[in-house]
Every structure is written in C-alpha cells, then in structure tokens.
A and B are shown apart, each in its own frame.
Chain A
C-alpha cells in the first residue's frame, strides 16, 4: 500500500523555470515610450504626487497663472471619479484633461499614453501629470516623467516621509505646502525635512503656499530652469 502511494507521488516530475520577470514590466515598457515622445518634442514632464487634499490642483492653478504667458503649459489630472479638477485647472487658461480611473488608486503609464494624442506636444513646454491623491501606490508606477514632485501639506503632520518612504525616496522635489497655516499647526518644517532627507538625501525642498504666494516664485523659477535644460538637451 505504502509502495503504491510513493510510486504515485513519483510519477510526475516537477520542472522549475527561473524567470525573474518584473511585475511592472508592461508599465515600464510604456513609460519608456512616453519618455521617447517627451524627448522628441522637448516637453518637460512632471509627475505631481501627494495625499488627497494637499493642494495639488490649487498649485496647478497658481502655476498656470504665473507661467502661461511665458511658456506653453498643459495638465492631465487623475482622479477616481468626477471632472472637477480638470474644470478648475481649465479656468486658469491652460489645457487640462481628466483621467477618470474608475476606482484605481494610481495612474499607470498606459493611461497616460492613451491620452497623449490629445495633446499637441510639439507646442507644449511643460506637461504636468496630477496623480491620484495617494502616497502609496503611485510611488511604484513610472509614468515616464522627468521629475517627480511630492506635495507634503502642513495639515498632514510632519511624520509622513518615514511612513510612506518609497514616495519620498523616488521623488526629486518635496513641496511643503499650505505653509500659511504653520502658525496654527504643531508642524515642524525642520523635522519633516530631516526625516525626508534621511530617506532621500538628494531631495530638494521648497516651502510654499499656493494661496498666499510664499515660495511660488522659487517653484516657478525651478520649473523654468528645468524647461530650459530640457530644451537645450
């Protein structure tokens, strides 16, 4: 009886195949295509990430107001539902398309690639992707951007960089937003910068208030310098 059992078990052979396939292979492939498009058209692509409600759309509006006469700027904005953000940005006089993800918590390169034909890239110097408000999943998806900028609102608390390390590790710039509320909040800019730079020592930081204007000139100058770099590359 026991012999029969063991012979049964030995009948099939288990074969292994070492694959080492990256699960994000499909995303990264499309991200490379987007990078190529941006290189060809000399369009600077910036991926804006943050928690929900940290001021991404207000920053887009303010940036549009200040830069739209100097450069050609456009935005694509991702949300689970509604077209509200795109409508708000269009009111500032720049092209904005809404990507409704229908429940998906992040934007993927494929979604960006699908809406690219709607943009006249040859005539756009600066294209923003306003990602879904979420510090977790968007960190894993390369959208082909030149720079990733993360907003960190003073209302969120100064302990976030270590709680969501991958987002801060993969970002190039952290904008400490809603700085006008600092007098009312137990938020330490020094603490947030210290934690963020322990995660990513190369992270640049600007303190901004899109409503009151603090730091917005510095932010716009940073963008203009990056656009210049891209166009002379």
Chain B
C-alpha cells in the first residue's frame, strides 16, 4: 500500500511588499525636502488606476490642459421662425472648434501627443454659448520630440488603453449640433388637439430634423479629421429652457481610425465571480412574505 500524495499546499505568498514600499517612500521623503528629479513633474486629473493603465501600454500623463470658448448668439433668434436656427448651430460649432483647438495647442506646448479623459461642459444661454474642455495631455513614455498632430479625446484612460489594444487610435473630438424651430400649430389645429392624446408632430419633426443635421455634422467633422468612425457618442437633446418652441440636439464622441492594417481581436477572458450578489437575508423575510 502506498501513501497517497498529500494535497498541494498553497504557495507561500511571501512578505507583503506594501509596508516595505511605504517605508522606502517615507525614508526618501525624509531624506530630501525637494524633488531630486531634474525634469519638470507631471500634472494630471487622472486617478492612480488610470495612470497605471497608461504606463502599462507605454504612455504617461504630462500636463493638465484646458480649452474654453464663448461665442455670441444674436438677440431674438429663438422666438419665431421655421427650419434650423442656423446662427445658434454655427455659434455652437464655432465654440467647440475654438475650445478643442486651444486644448490641443496647450497639449502640444506641454509636449503631449494627445489629450485623454476630456470633460466636456457645454452651456447654452439665449445670448451666448460656452464650451469648456479639461483633460490630461499624454504622450508615449519614450517619445522624443513633438507629435505631428495632437489628438483630443473624451475617452477615459481605460477606454484609451482598450482602444489601443484593439489596434485603433483616436484622432480627435467629433462634434455636431443643430437647433431647430418647432413650428407653432395653427389656431385650428391647436383647438382640435386641445384635450386630446395626440402626437405633436411639429415637435417630433423638429427633433428629427435637428438630430439629422447634428449627426451629419458630427460625422463630417470626424471624416475631416481622418477618422473612420466615432466611439462613445454622447447625445443631448430637448427643448431650450429659455425658448419652448426651439429644440436642440448636440452629439459628440471620439473619432477613431485603425492604427495598423486591421482590427486586433482582444479575446477577453471569461470569469465567473464567486461572490453572490443576491441578498441572503432581509428583515422582511421574517414575516414570511
């Protein structure tokens, strides 16, 4: 009779590295009041997870960068009319173009090759439109010299890493906006529809019209930048708070193109979490419900 082999014991995980890292960190800090680094430090609004992810694919944050533009909208254009409120659409698109250009310039000045995690704030007032962009300029860790073209992207660092792994690259922020009048109903139509459950086709059609124009502009801006598609599109639509008969549709996303010859399949690994998300006990169950 032979002795059955013993169950393999789990490998000894060894001493935890974290306390050692902490001691090394505080000791280094106590040794010198100022940074021993010769070069300028980086500034960024990325989380530590996002910074680590960037480092994993050979990129690093460089500088926190901003781009802002405020463009005037002429008085009285929101009140009456039909079709597109073209001056408002033009003002919006100009504000985005200016802000994105300034963001890119700041990134290029800082030595960045692109900007990731751009927060997009668009404020539409009746007399002016403001666009504020803030993000972190990034570059390949071993980059030497300036980039030929700086991309601007609202993708998070996580999405940027995933995009890179799939063989694609961002080329810029694609934007489109359109504002359209919802024509007022005739007196007769308004009276007939009073108290009825009916579709207000003037609003539906205005929304479709605004949607089509804005989406077309967004796609055109992507094509102009050399993009083959747009990912992570954000859409905002609805009536203007200061003009109930005007509807607006804005859409933006990151224009992307293939970095190499073709798409790379990521082949994600399937995982089965062992934690049970169901509630195992709740006080109500004591009543037998």
Asked if A pairs with B, the answer is no
Interface residues of B (CB under 8 A from A): none
